[in-house]
Chains A and B, each alone.
Chain A
Amino acid sequence: MSARFIDWIWHIKGSLTLAPGQSSDDAFERLRPLFREVGTTHERKGDTLVFRKKDQAAQDKMSVFDGGTLRIESGSGASVLHYHLTSRVLLLCFLAPLLFLGFAQMNLVLAKFDKPLAEELEKKNADKAEVPMHSIDKFLGAPAPEKKDEAKDKSKDKEKDKKKRLPTPGYVFAGIFAALYVVGRILEQRLVRSLFRKNLMEPQEPLLARA
């Protein structure tokens, strides 16, 4: 199977038409601030810019991406910016549901080794003991504590351990990450497109103001 059938999972591709008459030099100059972030290196060769990111800052507007290529294609009409970006976090988010499903399955397997609860309840049949309640709590109207039942307490402990080994949290987090992936794949594609568009279209500051 060719990688291009699955690479949409962590690759984001798109294109933007530049303003009429906008040169590739001007376009890359406007995009350059995006690649001056901490942990980002970039290299421009003609109409192509290649960048890499490592340990990118949380507030880096392109922090989701680890690398990519931006190419400007000049045609008879307006030039077009083609971008191809890769994101490891999108790939990991796509795979995360499998990990959490794995944890859920592991708990199902471990649950088979648990002793049956009913047997333990039969073994112990201690009398219920009164639990003291302080007079202040009686005066303030707090509910009386339940009577202490050794056998029930023991079974509750076992029940608590069993609950900790339920597959449910694994399923819930698998669902959460599946939803997060869908949201992230759509959101980040839109955000990066609008980021490029904003940088390419907005009027540049006068040189004096920048200095």
Chain B
Amino acid sequence: MRLPDRVTGLFLVGLGAAAAYGGWQLPPVPGQPVGPNVFPLVIGTGLALCGLAIAFGIGHSFEEEEELIPVEGGQPPPPTGKFYGLRALLPPALLLFYVVVADRLGFIITAALIVFVTSTALGARWKLSLPLAVLAPIGIHLIFSKLLRVPLPAGLLPMPW
């Protein structure tokens, strides 16, 4: 997902313009000299200006750019397939999966699926991922549901406590 500055900059211009336009359309509030429209207008404009500066490389010369340290060690591996990059979307997808099915399946089953999939996707063998998928949800459930009374959904497999 590494995009050229020109692309992200222009995207910010669009986002800023949309925000400014959206804010501009808000009705004024009686009794307030500055309505709810002003703040989005200012921010949208500022964002759009930043986007322009980034897209056209202004400001690079203004202050010394510090070297960006790569977050995780090592070079990215050669992509093994066309859709390799989409693997990054797995974690948010799993969280949305949790939102959709947790009430029906219950916390334990949903959480076990999430743990198993995440662990396997990161290259764990089943000897690690399977026990993890059983133990981690139960542990979390114990702490949150039993101890702290967070109403985690029981679903199909309620815990005996």
Q: Do A and B associate with each other?
A: no
